[in-house]
Amino acid sequence: MQKAVYILLLIISNCAFAQRIINFNLYPTGTLIGIKFTLTAGKDCGGYKILHSTDSLSFSVIEDYAGICGNISANEIRSYTHQTPALNQKNYYKVLLATSESSNIQSVYLASQNADAIKAYPNPLDANHPILSCRVAGSGNSKLKAIIYSQNGKNIRNLELFSKSDLVLVDVSGLSNGLYILEIANGEKPFTTKFLINR
């Protein structure tokens, strides 16, 4: 019986160790990418590295934090801003702890776009406006895919939209007050804009 309890505790501790990196998210802002993750409570991780790739196979180190990280009694949030991500393609990221634990790979497409590529209005939206109108340059009359992200980069909604003469209507009813990021993909190239709900 004691041996079975010991084995069960060993399995649980190994599972807990494999989950030190949680809430790993990416936040595109202009031509920068914010990276944020949480280290769960536990012993010192002995440092970490943030790695970047443009093909999801060959990664290079963009941040090498060699200091003490982690807290024995509380979760610890870490963040970093990648100043030179690749434009007009996907950027892949992962976090590697000194203990050799690795996060899942996260990716985000970062487009270089001019200010007129997408225009959203009214902005901010109030109680009288549950529909966000967007002019998406070059979308014509087509089917588009869109994602609404929270200001922290969390995927809130995946949408299929239709443009008519470059105009796209996005139903934002049901969203709470706050700042959101809208990404609309016109073929291969996604466009992003921010909008505010203030009801």
User: Do residues 122 and 94 both lie within one domain?
Assistant: no
For residue 152, give the 3-state DSSP assignment. coil
| pLDDT, position 24 | 94
CATH of the domain at 136: 2.60.40.3080
Token couple for 8: 């069960």
User: CA–CA separation, 145 vs 159, rounded Å?
Assistant: 6
User: Do residues 78 and 41 both lie within one domain?
Assistant: yes
Would 10 be classed as within a structural domain? no
How many structural domains comprise the chain? 2
Average pLDDT for the chain: 84
User: Do residues 149 and 96 both lie within one domain?
Assistant: no
User: Do residues 30 and 106 both lie within one domain?
Assistant: yes
Would 158 be classed as within a structural domain? yes
Which sign does the torsion angle of CA 52, 30, 26, 163 carry?
negative
Would 13 be classed as within a structural domain? no
**Segment 90-102, tens digit of pLDDT:** 899 999 998 889 9
User: Do residues 44 and 93 both lie within one domain?
Assistant: yes
User: Do residues 103 and 126 both lie within one domain?
Assistant: no
User: Do residues 86 and 152 both lie within one domain?
Assistant: no
User: Do residues 29 and 84 both lie within one domain?
Assistant: yes
User: Do residues 61 and 127 both lie within one domain?
Assistant: no
CATH of the domain at 77: 2.60.40.10
**Segment 5-20, tens digit of pLDDT:** 444 444 444 444 447 9
**Segment 41-84, tens digit of pLDDT:** 988 888 999 999 999 999 999 999 988 888 889 999 999 999 99
pLDDT band, very low/low/confident/very high, at 182 (cuts 50, 70, 90) = very high
User: CA–CA separation, 180 vs 27, rounded Å?
Assistant: 11
Enumerate the β-bridge partners of residue 36: 25, 79
Residues of the chain with pLDDT > 90: what percent? 49
Cα 40 → chain centroid:
19
Mark which of 57, 92, 110 sits at the end of a domain. 110
Mark which of 90, 110, 130 sits at the end of a domain. 110
Buried b / exposed e across 73-89, counting CB within 10 Å, b at 16+? eeeeebebebeebeeee
User: Do residues 34 and 104 both lie within one domain?
Assistant: yes
End-to-end Cα distance, the chain = 60
Asked if the peptide bond before residue 122 counts as cis, ω within 30 degrees of 0, the response is yes
User: CA–CA separation, 110 vs 134, rounded Å?
Assistant: 19
Would 3 be classed as within a structural domain? no
Enumerate the β-bridge partners of residue 50: 63, 95
Token couple for 71: 């807290």
Instruction: Print the domain residue range for 134.
Output: 118-197
